[in-house]
Amino acid sequence: MGRARDRDNRPQFPLRTDTVTSTAPAGLVVNAGSALPPLSFFKLAAFDMDSTLIGIECIDEIAALAGKGPEVAAITEAAMRGEITDFRDSLRRRLALLAGVPATVLDRVLAERLTFNPGARELCAAMKAAGLKLVLVSGGFTYFTRHVAAELGMDFVRSNELEIVDGALTGGLVMQDWGDICDGEQKRRMLLDCCARTGCSPERAMAVGDGANDLLMMGAAGLSVAYHAKPRVREQAMVAINDGGLDRLLELVRP
């Protein structure tokens, strides 16, 4: 459990003579085991947000503006690399460092620091045009996922809700109907729930991420895509985009 897909147990997609697999374009690595189908084969795509769709880790940016940057960033990096295996614990530790930070810092992160990664808009637009449902599932925060989801036309969203009391972060999260922390297991469940709600077989879903917290949902999807990812994630993904933007996926899974 946790592997994006064993290389000897990959789904056998319908073969396409025009798809490059063993000799992928520079900056792309394909370990699918069979030719990739067209984009229209897929019915759903689930995306991580921080460092995948957007170019920042929001919690690190909050911490930086609050003067807690190095402490929080160190925990984030260790969790992304898989060195801290309990994401829930790592998130609680980071949030505790932010207790008392004014909520206005969230406004500044959104206005001054949040940028979309290259190709994010283009890839999502191509997917929407091909009829895919889009899922944003993040260990980040609803304050930012609302903005990203609206900009990219996401159909389903799940993320963590920061608790704010008297205009300041408490260092905690708000309980939601599915739980309080969107960790790797919640990401996997969200992907499968959205597949069930839309009548999509998981084999016709793809999952895109960059960190260890994405591996469970990547393993549940028919196609796993690593974007400028940590080494452990690149090794286990069926497709790795190591150079260029997210829209480079369209060079392999063409509309």
CA distance 119 to 123: 6
Give residue for tokens 């980040």: 140
The two structure tokens encoding residue 230: 């940590």
Catalytic position from the list 48, 183, 210, 247: 48
The C-alpha angle with vertex 43 and arms to 41 and 47, in degrees rounded to 5, equals 115
Residues 6+ apart with CB under 8 A from 112: none
The string over 96-125, giving b where at least 16 C-beta atoms fall within 10 Å of a residue's C-beta and e elsewhere, is ebbeebeeebbeebbeebbebbebbbebbe
Active site residue 50: yes
Give the closest residue to 236 by CA, choosing from 205, 201, 194, 207.
Answer: 207
Active site residue 180: no
Strand partners, 134: 45
Catalytic position from the list 6, 8, 18, 50: 50
Catalytic residue numbers read 48, 50
